[in-house]
Amino acid sequence: MSETERIYDELKRLLKAHGLTYREVAEHLDISTASVKRLFSEQTLSMQRIEAVAELLGMTLGEVIKSAESREAPIDMLSELQEKALVEDLRLLLVGTCVTNRWSFQKILAHYQFTEPELIRLMVQLDRLGIIELLPGNRYRLFVSRNFRWRNNGPLQAFFFQTVLQDFFSPDQSEDKSYYRFIWGLTAQSEMAEIRNRIDRLASEFVSITEETPYTPEKHGSILLVSFRHDWQPPQFRAVKRTE
């Protein structure tokens, strides 16, 4: 995609996000609505008019360009506000999780108890949050990386620790559905970067495995959780540790 195409696509996305129509753009530019549609379709707006559209959005042309460029690379971490919006609506969080896993609209509809209008409404909310761009035919473009990270001490992490973790580690899981390893060792601060890199590689490999084959009824929702803490022991062990 050329830089010009990116700018026009971003202008259209921003207009939609701000709830602005071509008619309002036409009024701002003092031309007809038909002319605005033609100029956007042919991508022949003058630089002065592009700057005027950016002004209507409350932005500079430079900010529009930066916004377009930022969408070329997937988002690796959501903002605090994006995470907060997701955890405040668990149905929105569920749909957000589904789209992060590249589920189609019809697949979400088939698996969960949403009505079609409700699911469309939730997808529109994800669009407004900048997580997806909703396209015609209930398709979407995802802006988030497949293995994005939660914010440290952010809303998603807090939600997981407060409401999900206990169930995740419940002892009644059958051996054919779960696998646990707890390893205790001594590590130096200088070794943390290498350990994190290896954990990241494992996470990427898990993503690759889940995407290698198309969906089949034998596939079920699964979670890989890898946790590492440096300079930590269970409190029962710390209680009898010699003080230096």
> Is 155 inside a domain boundary?
no
pLDDT for residue 109: 94
Residues 132, 119: Cα–Cα separation, whole Å = 14
> Is 150 inside a domain boundary?
no
Residues 198 and 211 in one domain: yes
Range of the domain at 16: 3-70
Per the CB < 8 A criterion, the answer to whether 6 and 64 are in contact is no
Residues 51 and 92 in one domain: no
Give me the mean pLDDT over the 176-204 stretch. 87
CATH of residue 45: 1.10.260.40
Would you say the C-alpha torsion 140, 158, 152, 189 has a positive or negative sign? Answer: negative
Would you say the C-alpha torsion 103, 105, 106, 110 has a positive or negative sign? Answer: positive
> Is 65 inside a domain boundary?
yes
213-219 contacts at long range (C-beta below 8 A, 24 or more positions apart) = 215/107
pLDDT for residue 1: 54
pLDDT for residue 92: 96
Residues 61 and 79 in one domain: no
Number of domains in the chain: 3
DSSP result, the chain: --HHHHHHHHHHHHHHHTT--HHHHHHHHTS-HHHHHHHHHHT---HHHHHHHHHHTT--HHHHHHHHHHTTSPEEE--HHHHHHHHT-HHHHHHHHHHHTT--HHHHHHHS---HHHHHHHHHHHHHTTSEEEEGGGEEEE-EEEEEEPPTTSHHHHHIIIIIHHHHT-TT--TTT-----------GGGHHHHHHHHHHHHHHHHHHHHHS---TT-----------SS---HHHHTTPPP-
| pTM exceeding the 0.85 threshold for the entire prediction | no
Encode pLDDT of 131-186 as tens digits.
888 888 898 988 887 767 889 999 999 998 888 888 887 776 666 778 888 888 88
> Is 89 inside a domain boundary?
yes
Give me the mean pLDDT over the 108-130 stretch. 93
> Is 17 inside a domain boundary?
yes
> Is 244 inside a domain boundary?
no
Encode pLDDT of 58-103 as tens digits.
988 888 877 776 666 678 888 888 999 999 999 999 999 999 888 8
> Is 173 inside a domain boundary?
yes
Would you say the C-alpha torsion 129, 131, 133, 138 has a positive or negative sign? Answer: negative
Last residue of some domain: 29, 52, 70?
A: 70
Rg (CA), the chain: 23
> Is 156 inside a domain boundary?
no
Alpha-carbon distance values, 115 to 78, 108, 119 (Å)? 27, 10, 6
Distance of CA 49 to the CA centre of its chain: 33
pLDDT band (50, 70, 90) for residue 235: confident
φ/ψ (deg, to 5) at 102:
65, 30
pLDDT for residue 103: 86
- Whether 16 shows a pLDDT value over 80: the answer reads yes
